[in-house]
Amino acid sequence: MNVTLYLKLEYYENGDFDVNNDYYKSNQEFFDAMDRENKKYSNVAYDAVSSLGNISSNRTAKIGKLSNSTKEATENSYKSEAILYNEKGEDETVDELITTCVSQDVSVNIIKFNRDSMDEEFEEDYNFWVDEHNNINQYKDALGEDKVFENEPIRTFYAEFLNNAGEKKFVRLKNCKILDKGDEDEYAILSEKITLIDNI
């Protein structure tokens, strides 16, 4: 199934700083703040796992940086085209997706991201997410799969698709974690819950 995936700028909100559209005077100021946060927490993965798994101090996690953006301050989301497959690698159908929404169960899908269609901000966050996943998985042998999975980075995606009547519909894929990598820009993703929503 062809979908348009969205990430929202408010994803960055945490207890440390606010990213409301009117909080920063410019896009540059926003990304400077993100860069400071990345530097501040660049050793978080190492600190967390070293205290749990007694890992040598020379194995620090490398966290990527977000670069400058030209996105308008009034926009609050950015997008990428993608193809959504079910966990067997077959094209996801509208009926299967709706059934998953109704069941409210944890779901596994394969997502093939289309890098050529990504907004710059989507690509930056996507790369950051994949880097975080790769960094934490360096410690799988020391900590075990369960502990690493608990600390996997998460993203909440919003997907736009056409239903069987050709109408636009929207779902939220909540707290997605990367399970495995397939071909280039193709990942098996676990979603905590997929929910139908009115709009993005």
Cα separation, 127 vs 134, in Å, equals: 11
Structure-block tokens of residue 60:
């620090």
CB distance 153 to 125 below 8 Å? no
Q: For 125-143, how does the pLDDT look when each residue is reduced to its tens digit (9 = 90+)?
A: 999 999 999 999 998 888 8
Is the per-residue pLDDT at 3 higher than 80?
Answer: yes
Between 90 and 24, residue with greater pLDDT: 90
Q: Is the pTM of this model over 0.75?
A: no
Bridge partner residues of 86 (DSSP): 109
Strands 186-191 and 107-113, by their bridges, are: antiparallel
Structure-block tokens of residue 32:
């400077």
Q: Domains of the chain: which residue ranges?
A: 2-197
Residue 129 backbone dihedrals phi, psi, to 5 degrees: -60, -45
